[in-house]
A and B are shown apart, each in its own frame.
Chain A
Amino acid sequence: MAKLTLYDYELDDQCYKVRLFLGALGCLYDKVAVDVHPGSEHRSARYLRLNPLGALPILTEADLTIYGAEAILTYLALKYDTARVWLPEKPETFGRIMQWLAFSGSILSAASIARAHALFEIEADETKVYRKARLAFRLMEDHMTKQQFDDTFWFIGNTATIVDIALFPNIALSRDFGVDHDEYPALRRWMAHVRGIPGFITMPGIPAYH
């Protein structure tokens, strides 16, 4: 039995961030499927003990329980990527990675809400979350336009980092809530590179070929 356990919902974009990274790292892990829709099992007493916020993903390893996609990515990078490729230690790079992870956990989460609203009818102020999600995508597009102008394919520096993993799912799944990729050419080029990461996996809503 693998010692890593991921509490997972197949259709959840935040869980996909973690599955994507575990795939890229080539880590073996156990997956516990949680009945989020329609069962709301993630808000049951059993899961509230693991994450009082009542949300997935949750990762456990021995006595450690850690929740939230960005925190889990950081933990996995420090623990299993000894070459420090995915989370470089250089202060300038590390700082910018933290900046974009915070972006992923704040404004970009509007995209997750918009998608959950469009798919599962989760209550949300539709106008507001759509506007916020589009703003997040616009900021990412502007950033990647600059990066590509400087001849780099990745969000930070010249190699893929956990930022690329953290930011990919929301935009890749944006068609689930009616936001097409046509208006984001730089992000489309970037997404093609993310798809090329060894160990890349898809999820429903992200076609294997495009």
Chain B
Amino acid sequence: MTKTTDIVALDEWYAIAVMADVGGNPIRTRLLGQDIIYGRGPNDRVSVHEVDASGRPGAALPTRERYNCLWTSLGAPRHEIFRLAEAEEKDRRVVVCGWIKMRTSGLRLVENFLDMAHFPYIHPNILGAEPHTEVPQYASEIRRDVDEVWATNCQFYQPQIVANGPGGMVQLTYRVPSPFVVMLYRVCPSSPDRLDVIMMFIQPIEEDLCRALPVMYLIDDRSSQIDLLNFEQVIFLQDRIIVENQRPLLLPLEPRSETPTRADLSSVVFRRWLKEKGLRFGTAEGGRDLV
């Protein structure tokens, strides 16, 4: 496909690579239907360029290095990349989990990330377990001052809150700072006055194809790196099967025909937010226009 004409999507920032993988050899990838190329030039300067129709590097794109990743935009972002205060704390363990590609709209992935009801069924004995299937009342809202979606006061019973850890009621806060970035704050089991942060950066490749990278900022000096990676990747692959089998692959913004349950609140708010923004890329409504 070709570069989207969706201004709302074009003007966002997207993580496209882990900084450690940005080297002298230029790497080609695709963002919002547009081929781009990135790499490190002389003086260690990192650049991202569009690749034009003849296969040559074209316009230089804006870049940022944030949260261990290289970010870029195909448009003119009206704001900086979201701020994560926890990332500035020096004692944090940063775990970059590795990109995984998925045949679905990136927005489906965000919606799946926000959904707690699936934990006991899709991540049995990790993030949930029967019979603890109830999603207690939580709040979800569009925060107008920052233009983000937040879900607060979320609780759920988890048999393994951290890798190989004990189970219990976990306290979660969800945040969607931009349409293709989603994260959760989790009350840290080992120091309850602090929050672990688990983010998911999504690179929308095409309307129905994306790659996603979980990045975690944890308070954890106990778990091994490999245990943390495995924990997150196993969960991620379990979700991948689900989102790749949802139909349509593109996210419908119109309310679902069936009455949403209490557990769907975040999804309803997220879809409403996208609709208000006028985002079309990766949505069932926008997808139809493009065909």
Contacts and interface: CB of A to CB of B under 8 A. Distances in A.
Do A and B bind? yes
B226 A33 contact: yes
Contact of B230 (A10, A205, A208): A10
B227 interface: yes
Contacts of B103: 118, 178
A118 B103 CA distance: 9
A38 B98 contact: yes
A121 interface: yes
A64 B284 CA distance: 56
A11 B18 contact: no
A11 B240 CA distance: 13
A157 to B, nearest CB: 33
B227 A208 contact: no
Nearest to A117: B101
Interface string B100-133: 1101000000000000000000001000000000
Contacts of B101: 118-121
A189 interface: no
Contact of B124 (A37, A39, A119, A208): A208
B2 interface: no
A121 B99 contact: yes
Given A37-B233, A205-B241, A120 B225 contact: no
Interface string A1-15: 000000000110000
A91 interface: no
B34 to A, nearest CB: 18
Interface string A107-130: 000000000001111000000000
B125 to A, nearest CB: 10
B237 A204 contact: yes
B60 interface: no
A121 B211 CA distance: 9
Interface of B: 18, 96-101, 103, 124, 211, 225-227, 229-230, 233-234, 237-238, 240-241, 244-245
Interface of A: 10-11, 33-35, 37-39, 118-121, 175-176, 178, 204-205, 207-208
Given A118-B103, A175-B241, A208-B124, 18 more contacts: A10-B234, A11-B233, A11-B237, A35-B225, A38-B97, A38-B98, A39-B98, A118-B101, A119-B101, A119-B237, A119-B240, A120-B100, A121-B101, A175-B245, A204-B233, A204-B234, A204-B237, A205-B237
20 contacts: A10-B233, A11-B237, A33-B226, A34-B226, A37-B98, A38-B96, A118-B103, A119-B100, A119-B101, A120-B98, A120-B99, A121-B211, A176-B237, A176-B240, A178-B103, A204-B233, A204-B234, A205-B237, A205-B238, A205-B241
